[in-house]
């Protein structure tokens, strides 16, 4: 009788550990945290956006998106400080990852726009000066 009990407990421990491993694999919590940010996949889960807002890659659209992400981050931070029951650390981390990525692309857009503007202004100023004045 005692042997049966031991066998059952060993079986149940092995079954529990395999179930837990299966949950970890299926849950995707570990693999999703390391995944790269993808705008079309991640943004709809984080903030309420229309599809055309996600697809909008213009400078103005990017600035609006960064502002919305900044606001969502601020609200999530306030929930954390207040220890509110709706605070989600994983959501906070995903928001931060999305914000940093979108901010980097906005800065790249602004940098390229400034370089184009500076090149155009530099050429115009060169053309307006007399040749002997340089």
pTM summary value: 0.62
Mean pLDDT of 45-52: 94
Model confidence pLDDT, tens digit, residues 81-107: 999 999 999 999 999 999 999 999 999
Residue 82: burial class (beta carbons within 10 Å; 0-12, 13-18, 19+): exposed
Owning domain of residue 58: 37-111
Q: Count up the domains in the chain and report the number.
A: 1
Residue corresponding to tokens 């400080």: 81
* Token output for 5: 């009990």
Residue 28 in domain: no
Could you tell me if residue 93 is inside a domain? yes
Q: Give the pLDDT score at 21.
A: 43
């Amino acid at each position: 009788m005692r042997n049966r009990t031991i066998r059952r407990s060993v079986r149940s421990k092995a079954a529990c550990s395999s179930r837990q491993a299966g949950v970890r694999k299926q849950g995707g919590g570990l693999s999703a945290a390391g995944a790269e940010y993808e705008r079309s996949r991640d943004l709809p889960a984080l903030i309420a956006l229309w599809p055309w807002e996600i697809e909008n890659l213009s400078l103005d659209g990017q600035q609006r998106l960064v502002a919305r992400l900044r606001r969502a981050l601020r609200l999530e931070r306030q929930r954390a400080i207040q220890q509110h029951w709706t605070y989600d650390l994983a959501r906070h981390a995903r928001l931060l990852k999305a914000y940093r990525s979108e901010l980097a692309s906005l800065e790249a857009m602004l940098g390229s726009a400034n370089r184009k503007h500076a090149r155009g202004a530099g050429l115009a100023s060169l053309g307006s000066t007399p040749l002997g004045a340089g």
